[in-house]
Amino acid sequence: MSAPRLDPLSEQAIDWMVKLRAGQPDAGLQERFDAWLAMDPAHAQAWATLQERLGGSFNTLRALDRRVPGQAAQARQLLLQPQESRRDALRLIAGLGLLGGGLWLGARSSLGDNLFADLHTGRGQRRDFNLADGSRLSLNAESAVDLQFDGQQRLVILRHGELLIQVAADPRRPLRVRTAQGEVRALGTRFLVAQERDASRVLVLEHAVQASLFDGSQAVLQEGQSALLYRQRIVRLAGDQRHRADWLDGRLNVLDEPLEQVVDALRPYSRGFVRVAPAIRDLRVQGVFTLNDPDKTLAALAETLPIRVQRYSPWLTLIQAK
């Protein structure tokens, strides 16, 4: 029996994916890709289909680029796979022998995080968890954590996304939240931690926390204070940031922030791939929006900002200048 073949547009979509994720970003390449997307709605549909079949994440393919040749062939096998679940896609990756060296190649993607995390949420889903020590943990959409609770420690590892935790008292085992940049140690009872692209955001809602980087740098944050933890510095943020916890009630409260950051907050609630054109990413936004209906929020933004929201399918949304 001959191997199944992809249609030409799917082949083109895979080729674009490989080009876009190889090496340093190139403005000219991005412009050519945008032109290809706009050329025909079928192009956008092929791109969106590829994103959906890969679980909305490029990270597995980026790892393939670094570890083995022929990454486009692996993408084709994923796309041709008859199953539609993320777990089935993972089985295929494992079956191709890409789990070598004790490192799963998708470990940095939301696909791997959600499959293997102790607790997680999916797209558009917020959940509350009662932990074994009596603490109360809330996860925003598309978030994942691991728990290491024993007689000596209480450690929450935030793989990706955002959490808010009401900490139960235990003087012998102070609760810690670990991120990619460092740790947050509870000195009080209630705080928020978000894993962002290059930093961890910390917001204290009650009492205090001690934030630490892996190089030993530390800062104590009191109630109402917040900071961004970068790899080599802690940046305290001015003003009251407590509105950032409004996602607990399904609201996105924005106080003079760039459009790209607003769209980042909507992505865990949106289906498919959402892209903001570089020219409008820094437009300032202010207002209160709904998280549970991202299409309604984008429509509201289009009424007040000089932007155009184009939906090529349920899986692809492009936001461009008018």
The pLDDT tens digits of the residues spanning 71-81 come to 445 555 554 44
Q: Which residue, among 151, 152, 149, has the nearest Cα to 129 in the 3D structure?
A: 149
Query: Rounded to whole angstroms, what are the CA distances from 38 to 25, 31, 305?
Result: 20, 11, 22
Supply 291's token pair.
């998280």
pLDDT tens digits for range 25-79: 566 777 788 788 878 878 888 877 776 665 444 444 444 433 334 444 555 555 4
- Mean pLDDT across the stretch 299-311? 94
Amino acid occupying residue 241? Q
How much is the pLDDT for 84?
Answer: 41
Locate tokens 């930093």: which residue?
A: 199
Name the helix (H) or strand (E) containing 311: strand 307-313
Locate tokens 């200048």: which residue?
A: 321
Q: Do domains 119-242 and 250-321 have the same CATH topology?
A: no
pTM summary value: 0.70
- Mean pLDDT across the stretch 85-89? 43
pLDDT tens digits for range 190-204: 999 999 988 999 999
Least confident of 5-19, 67-81, 228-242: 67-81
Just give the CATH number of 250-321.
Answer: 3.55.50.30
Q: How confident is the model at residue 220 (pLDDT cuts 50, 70, 90)?
A: very high
How much is the pLDDT for 92?
Answer: 43
User: Residue ranges per domain, the chain?
Assistant: 8-116, 119-242, 250-321
Fold category of 119-242 in CATH = Jelly Rolls (2.60.120)
- Mean pLDDT across the stretch 275-286? 94
Are the C-beta atoms of residues 253 and 288 closer than 8 Å to each other? Answer: yes
Percentage helix, strand, coil for the chain under 3-state DSSP, each rounded to 5: 35, 30, 35
